[in-house]
Amino acid sequence: MAFTKRPGFAREVTPSSSPDIAQAERVIFTTYGDTVSVFEKGKNLNKFGVNLTVGTSFETVGEMQGTEVHETFVSTNLIDSVVSSSASDTQTVTIQGHTVDVSGNLTFVSQTADLSGQTEVPLITPLARASRMYINASGTFDSPQAVPVGIISVYDNTDGETSGVPNTDASTKLLISAGESQTQKCSTSTASDEYWIITAIDAGIGNTGGNAARVQIKIETRDIPNGGVWRPLGRELILVVGQNGVQVDPIPYLIVPPSHDIRVVARTNSNTASVFAELRGMLASIQ
Calpha distance 277→205 (Å, rounded): 9
Q: Is 183 helix (H, G, I), strand (E, B) or coil?
A: coil
Calpha distance 286→126 (Å, rounded): 25
Domain spanning 43-61+188-286, CATH class: mainly beta
Provide the pLDDT for residue 210: 72
Mean pLDDT of 147-176: 97
Provide the pLDDT for residue 53: 93
Question: Which backbone phi and psi does 38 adopt, to 5 degrees?
Answer: -70, -40
Provide the pLDDT for residue 16: 32
* DSSP annotation string for 58-123: -EESB--STT-SS----SSS-EEEEEESSTT---EEEEEEEEE-TT--EEEEEEEEE-BTTB-EEE
Provide the pLDDT for residue 139: 77
Provide the pLDDT for residue 7: 45
Provide the pLDDT for residue 35: 95
Calpha distance 3→87 (Å, rounded): 55
Which amino acid belongs to residue 27? Answer: V
DSSP run (H or E) holding 127: strand 121-127
Least confident of 26-35, 128-137, 235-244: 235-244
What value does the mean pLDDT of the chain take? 92
Tell me the pairing of strands 161-162 and 165-166.
Answer: antiparallel
**Residues 26-73 pLDDT 10s:** 999 999 999 999 999 999 999 999 999 999 999 999 999 999 999 999
The domain locations on the chain are 43-61+188-286, 79-183
Provide the pLDDT for residue 138: 82
Q: Is 271 helix (H, G, I), strand (E, B) or coil?
A: coil
Cross-strand bridge partners of residue 275? 51, 205
Calpha distance 117→143 (Å, rounded): 19
Provide the pLDDT for residue 4: 47
Provide the pLDDT for residue 42: 93
DSSP run (H or E) holding 216: strand 214-223
Sign of the C-alpha dihedral computed for residues 64, 66, 69 and 73 taken in this order:
negative
Residues belonging to the chain: 287
Provide the pLDDT for residue 241: 86
Sign of the C-alpha dihedral computed for residues 145, 148, 154 and 159 taken in this order:
negative
CA distances from residue 273 to 64, 106, 176, 241 in whole angstroms, order as listed: 16, 34, 21, 9
Provide the pLDDT for residue 285: 96
Provide the pLDDT for residue 208: 66
Q: Is 39 helix (H, G, I), strand (E, B) or coil?
A: helix
Mean pLDDT of 153-173: 97
Q: Judge whether residue 272 has pLDDT over 50.
A: yes
Provide the pLDDT for residue 13: 38
Q: Judge whether residue 141 has pLDDT over 90.
A: no
Provide the pLDDT for residue 286: 96
Cross-strand bridge partners of residue 255? 197
**Residues 205-217 pLDDT 10s:** 987 667 889 999 9
Q: Judge whether residue 3 has pLDDT over 50.
A: no
Q: Judge whether residue 1 has pLDDT over 60.
A: no
Q: Is 40 helix (H, G, I), strand (E, B) or coil?
A: helix
Cross-strand bridge partners of residue 216? 238, 267
Q: Judge whether residue 2 has pLDDT over 90.
A: no
Mean pLDDT of 227-250: 91
Provide the pLDDT for residue 17: 67
Mean pLDDT of 144-169: 96
Calpha distance 195→189 (Å, rounded): 10
**Nearest of 230, 219, 232 to residue 281 by alpha carbon:** 219
Mean pLDDT of 96-108: 98
Let me know: does 282 contact 254? Beta carbons within 8 Å. no
